[in-house]
Amino acid sequence: MKNIITRKTCVLNFTFEIITGAIFILFLIINKKPVGMLEGLPIGMGGGAFIYNFLRKRDLDERDYSLYHKTNHLTLAAVVVGIIAVKLLNDVPGVTEFIDASWAQMIISVYFLFHGIFGLILFNKE
C-alpha cells in the first residue's frame, strides 16, 4: 500500500471521519459520559491523525490543496461555533454534567464529523 495522499484517499478519509464522528457522538449521548473506549480513543485518534498528516506524501494538485485548506477552515469555524454554543448551554440543568464529563471527547468527535462533511461536500462539488 502506497503512503500517498490523493483525491480518492481524501474522499475515503472524509467518509471515515463522518462515520467515526457520528458513532462517537451517538455513544456519548447514549452513555451520558465517556466509558470504555470513549475515554481516550477520540483524543488518541485526533493526535494520531495530526502526526500521520506529516508522515504522508502528497500527490494533490493546487486545486485539491485549496479545497483541503478550505475544508480545514470551515471545520475550525464550525467547531468554534460549537464551543460557543456549549459555553452558552453550560448553565442549563442536566447539560452541565454531560459537558463536564465529556467535553474533550465531544469536541474531537464533532471535529471529525464536520471535517468529513465539509470535505465530502467540497471535494465532490468541485
* Residue pLDDT, tens place only, 29-49: 887 776 666 666 666 666 666
pTM over 0.85: no
Burial 57-72 (b: 16+ CB within 10 A, else e): eeebeeebeebbeebe
Radius of gyration of the chain (CA): 16
Count the domains in the chain. Answer: 1
Cα 45 to chain centroid, rounded: 10
**% of the chain surpassing 90 pLDDT:** 0
The per-residue pLDDT for range 49-86, each reduced to its tens digit, is 666 666 666 666 778 778 878 888 888 888 888 888 87
Q: Domain range spanning residue 97? A: 4-125
